[in-house]
């Protein structure tokens, strides 16, 4: 386990939002019955070296334990699935001077290439809190969640156009990894956890927050 020296803590806003998602039932455990049999998986995530081992390890162990799926192809991009949306501020980054990169196109290309080489029964599109790449763009926790979901929409729209003829479309799941280290209560929740993010409860939470604003 990494030390906390390089780990951004959850903000109070992020913690309140996550706790609201938990109460609304938007964050649920992955259901082993819904993972396809055999094949391989692709995990799209941020490149955060403090959180990636836990996030990747969760998906590897989950798929391996429940479906014997041991080949998990990583697609690591700063911000993970938050870069995929056409309107994401993370999509095109000029953080490195004179080196603009379309991270959305890179993420999609890496996902497609991984699929062509390894095949994929399931794609785990996994955003995370807290995320330094998202924080660099001052994204609210609500906007981050919206970008995680719209990232899945991009995959759902784009993947079928690029699949080999007759190939079945992989299942695509939106997930969230949370590092609670900065707000962990003694004897309480896990240090880190990965959940499936459910759209309707998320939409309900976002709608209530819109009304309250
Ligand atoms: Zn990140």
Q: Pairing mode, if any, of strands 122-129 and 101-102? A: unpaired
C-alpha to C-alpha distances, 173 to 11, 60, 88, 122, 123, nearest whole angstrom = 26, 15, 19, 8, 6
The pLDDT value recorded for residue 96 is 66
Residue 39 located in a structural domain: yes
**CATH number, domain containing residue 167:** 3.40.50
47 alpha carbon – ligand 1 mean position (Å): 6
pLDDT digits (tens, 9 = 90+) for 92-142: 876 667 778 899 999 999 998 888 888 778 899 999 999 999 999 999 999
85 alpha carbon – ligand 1 mean position (Å): 16
Residue 13 located in a structural domain: no
The DSSP bridge partners found for residue 177 are 128, 194
Residue 18 located in a structural domain: no
The pLDDT value recorded for residue 165 is 80
Residue 17 located in a structural domain: no
176 alpha carbon – ligand 1 mean position (Å): 11
Residue 186 predicted with pLDDT over 60: no
pTM here?
0.91
pLDDT digits (tens, 9 = 90+) for 47-75: 999 999 999 999 988 887 777 777 889 99
Share above pLDDT 70 across residues of the chain, in percent, rounded to a whole number: 92
120 alpha carbon – ligand 1 mean position (Å): 24
152 alpha carbon – ligand 1 mean position (Å): 17
79 alpha carbon – ligand 1 mean position (Å): 5
Residue 22 located in a structural domain: no
Residue 146 located in a structural domain: yes
Q: Which domain holds residue 182?
A: 29-212
Closest C-alpha among 146, 121, 108 to residue 40: 121
Residue 73 located in a structural domain: yes
Model confidence at 79, pLDDT cuts 50, 70, 90, reads: very high
Mean pLDDT of 5-17: 90
The pLDDT value recorded for residue 68 is 76
184 alpha carbon – ligand 1 mean position (Å): 19
Non-local CB neighbours of 202 within 8 Å, separated by 6+ positions: 21, 24, 26, 145, 149
Residue 90 located in a structural domain: yes
What is the number of structural domains in the chain? 1
């Amino acid at each position: 386990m990494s030390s906390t020296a390089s780990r951004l803590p959850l903000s109070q806003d992020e913690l309140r939002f996550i706790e609201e998602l938990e109460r609304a039932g938007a964050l649920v455990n992955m259901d082993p019955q819904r993972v396809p049999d055999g094949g391989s998986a692709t995990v799209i995530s941020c490149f955060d070296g403090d959180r990636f081992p836990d996030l990747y390890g969760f998906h590897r162990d989950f798929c391996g334990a429940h479906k014997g799926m041991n080949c998990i192809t990583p697609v690591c991009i700063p911000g993970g699935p938050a870069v995929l949306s056409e309107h994401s501020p993370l999509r095109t980054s000029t953080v490195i001077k004179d080196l603009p990169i379309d991270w959305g196109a890179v993420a999609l290309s890496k996902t497609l290439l991984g699929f062509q080489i390894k095949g994929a029964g399931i794609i785990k599109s996994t955003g995370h809190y807290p995320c330094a790449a998202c924080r660099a763009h001052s994204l609210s926790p609500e906007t981050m969640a919206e970008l995680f979901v719209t990232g899945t929409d991009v995959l759902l729209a784009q993947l079928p156009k690029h699949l080999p003829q007759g190939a079945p479309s992989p299942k695509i799941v939106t997930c969230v990894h949370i590092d609670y280290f900065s707000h962990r209560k003694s004897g309480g929740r896990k240090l880190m956890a990965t959940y499936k993010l459910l759209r309707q409860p998320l939409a309900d939470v976002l709608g209530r927050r819109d009304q309250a604003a």
